[in-house]
Structure 1
Amino acid sequence: MGFVKTTTSIDLGDTPIENIFIDVYMPMANGTFVKVYLLGYKYACDGDPSKNINNITIAKNLNIPLSDVLAAWDFWESKKIIKKISPSEDNEWDYTVEFLNIRQLYIDNNYKSLQALNQETTEEETYSCSTKDLLDANKIPEIKKMFIDINKIINRSLVPNEKMQILEWFHHYNIDPPLVVKAYSYCRHKKNVRNVKYVAGVIRNWYDLNITTMEQLQAHLEKQGERYSLYDRIFKAMGFAYREPSEAEISIMDKWIDTYQFSMEIILKACENCSKTSNPNINYIDGILGDWHKKGIKKIEDLSILTEKKKDTPPEKPSSQKPVRKKTRFHLSESRGSKYEAKELEELLLNRQKNK
């Protein structure tokens, strides 16, 4: 007597993946690195030592180069969620990958954070960004673009120490580069302040208000009735979601709101025309709104009335009168032949020819 269980011809099992990996680690990696991690993790969960699984197997199954597989493990090792064991000196790709428990890592990291808070350490005392960290960060396109955008806002180049402090904000507040750019723009245009410590205070205040994304900041500014949130909405409607307005552009938008007294609904309606031009800019929208202001447009309903008037107005008919030819000094007041009729002129010509 015994107990036997049949198996399926294909693998219909499941592989548990921690939500922390999906929420925290997956967004920071490209698709190939995520696929390598998930397939390797599946093999680890299968736990069948009889299967000869290695990095070449993963490369063949995913139809990618072996170099991509090795690069993926280097990336995940740098994030400290896997560990390479017993790498071979002969074959650099021949090593075992140990998947660390992400839940345990989360607990350990939070426990350390609580200890740091209990010791009441200041931001300067916990400052850990090195020159190497700064050099590595400059290789990331999003970080590099962030520094360039901030330079434009403060009208000078950030010094290395300021850049290192900004990188520390990512560690302390878990924010994205666009939010840092927005914080600098907010301080520059609202408070006329460019100091990195002042900007750090603004970001810290946003963090205390659970604001860590652009969407949360937009909702907060709209709730507070900030004029700055209106600039954001206009720029997003124009397709400039991640560009900060210049002083001249802010002045133009203030004119729409204060001088023309247009509602946001009217302004956003004008911004819809950006799709009709290959090079949308704020002067193009200013021309549209300026024309509407001259015509007395104040509400969306007025635009419908204006459209109906254009339909009802018949097109101008061309004039039936023949244009009067303007005489010049080269025109004689009276033609020599005007006193003769056609038949008389013909007889005169014939007589002249006979006399000749």
Structure 2
Amino acid sequence: MKYRVQPYQVDIGETPIENIFLNQYLQLADGNSLKVYLYAIKNAKDPNAKEILTDQEIASDLGLTLREVKESWEFWLNEGIVKRVYDEETNQEITYFLSIREIVLGEIERAEYIPEEKTNMPNNSNSISQMFEEIESFLQIELNANELEKILNHIEDLGQEPEIIVEGFKFSDRKYGKRNLNYVLGILRNWHLDGIDTMEDLKKARERKNTKAKKIKLKRSYYRPKNNLEKAQVLEQNTGDEDGKKPKNIDDILLQRMIDKKKDNQKGE
């Protein structure tokens, strides 16, 4: 016979945080940095948590932009209480949380952090370059430096893929006749809020919209008589005589209509 412990259905555990951290950084760190640190260290100490947690997932879970998450990590790395080591075996970057108590007691030193040189192009520079080429080809104009920076900042903040940026320009022109960059970025932000950050996301969203439209159209469809004879037949089925006992004849209904129409014309004269 095997014995197992039923896992908890809700998280009722606890995450210990050093008082030195709370005393020092509750005043020193901003709200976003605290949220990112506490969320990530809770994940690191939870044996049932996801082994890999991306910055994009942190941003989504905490309601932050990707840039805000990266800026938060930049703060903690500069403080030296967090360090990142690249693991060649797993091809992953591992974030280590250092003990502030051990740092204060001199057992370990603060981690040394050398910021990477910032470039104007993200890591996927090939796809970014191709994106700009497609946008300029579509607009038939060359983007200026300010426009290039706005698009790059948008990608860094929201994490949308280059292909969806190009589609945003095409959609804005096709749907609204607008090619203005700010207008396009507004559409892309709305897509992001709807969970659309890739072309695959957009495809699924459009499929859901088409399915919903078909269902609505099906609900609204009903029988419509094609001519006066069919209308009269429908009217006959739903109309009784004065006593409500039997339906009127079609000819009687049509004759009565002609009489009523003639009376109306005479009154008008």
TM-score when normalising by structure 2: 0.36
Larger Rg belongs to: 1
Q: Which has the bigger relative contact order, CA under 8 A and spacing at least 6?
A: 2
